[in-house]
Amino acid sequence: MEQGFMREGHKGLGLVHFLGGASDVERAQYHILAALQETRREFCRNVIYPYLSDLIHLYEQLQHILQGLEGIRQAAPGEVRQVDLEACRVIYERSAFEADRIAAVEELMRWALPYIREAIEEGRTIFEFVEEHLHMEPVGIVPTYQEEGYLIIPDQRGRLLHVLQYQLSVVRGGSERYRTLRTVHLKQCPLHGVYPAPQRIKLDLIAEHRELPNPATYFIATELDFPFAQTVLPVAKRKLMRYLFTQMGNA
């Protein structure tokens, strides 16, 4: 976990907002809209982490549950008995037990999806804007081995230059492969006008961390005055990960 960049607790929209929705749909709708409004307020502050990724994950969960309900209706004559939102699965039997409650939860999900999708688009617009204004370039000669290295990135709002060590890996989950980029915050230095020379920083890192004698090092230049930990850094990490996997694919 990155020192100084720990995720803070937040009260964004989640599956819990749908769990008790069957008993009072109107009240559930009110709480869902309120949670989305809170998220959009964060977007107005140009804060996207963790709200955007959480919304995307929730949207995919709801779609998965609704597709399961529809598939069961088409494949089986029995009635859906229970929706396990936490496990994202549908339990059914031939009786009509709690059919009305399940129908109410389903209706609530279908009602919420367009609102969630609209909020996601707002967050993605910010993400894409930030990504366009982050200009990444290698520092010095890029070695063949790029799975580990350093990332240098400014925080214009805090007037700091951050140095992070990264490690790229592929995690297997069943038949799926997931790309991960782990970063550790090494140090920071004050920004006074002109950036410190990235090449000088790289030489200092080589002297301080001899386990990487010829490290892949990347510098990201930006003039954006956006929240660093909640916006600039997550977008920068995604940009670096995409670049590294493109390079590895072309190797």
**Is there a single domain that holds both residue 153 and residue 243?**
yes
Is the predicted pLDDT of residue 39 greater than 90, yes or no? yes
pLDDT of amino acid 98: 60
Is residue 160 in a domain? yes
pLDDT tens, position by position, 117-150: 999 999 999 999 999 999 999 999 999 999 999 9
Residue 226's closest CA among 133, 149, 150, 152? 133
**Is there a single domain that holds both residue 128 and residue 232?**
no
Q: For residue 178, list its beta bridge partners.
A: 171
Is residue 11 in a domain? no
Domain boundary among 91, 117, 132: 132
Length of the chain: 251
Is residue 7 in a domain? no
**Is there a single domain that holds both residue 246 and residue 143?**
yes
Is residue 3 in a domain? no
pLDDT of amino acid 251: 47
Is residue 57 in a domain? yes
Residue 25's closest CA among 104, 136, 89? 104
**Is there a single domain that holds both residue 120 and residue 162?**
no
Give the 3-state secondary structure of residue 170: strand
HSE at residue 190, side-chain half, CA atoms within 13 A, is 1
**Is there a single domain that holds both residue 171 and residue 185?**
yes
Is residue 8 in a domain? no
Is residue 6 in a domain? no
**Is there a single domain that holds both residue 89 and residue 171?**
no
pLDDT bucket at 81, cuts 50 / 70 / 90: low
**Is there a single domain that holds both residue 155 and residue 139?**
yes
Domain boundary among 98, 132, 166: 132
**Is there a single domain that holds both residue 30 and residue 121?**
yes
Is the predicted pLDDT of residue 241 greater than 60, yes or no? yes
Segment 35-48 shows an average pLDDT of 97
Rounded distance, CA 38 to CA 30, Å?
Answer: 12
Domain boundary among 91, 113, 132: 132
**Is there a single domain that holds both residue 115 and residue 187?**
no
pLDDT tens, position by position, 180-193: 899 999 999 998 86
**Is there a single domain that holds both residue 89 and residue 140?**
no
233: containing domain: 135-250
Lowest mean pLDDT among 20-29, 82-91, 128-137, 160-169: 82-91
Rounded distance, CA 14 to CA 85, Å?
Answer: 10
**Is there a single domain that holds both residue 61 and residue 124?**
yes
Is the predicted pLDDT of residue 171 greater than 80, yes or no? no
Tally of domains within the chain: 2
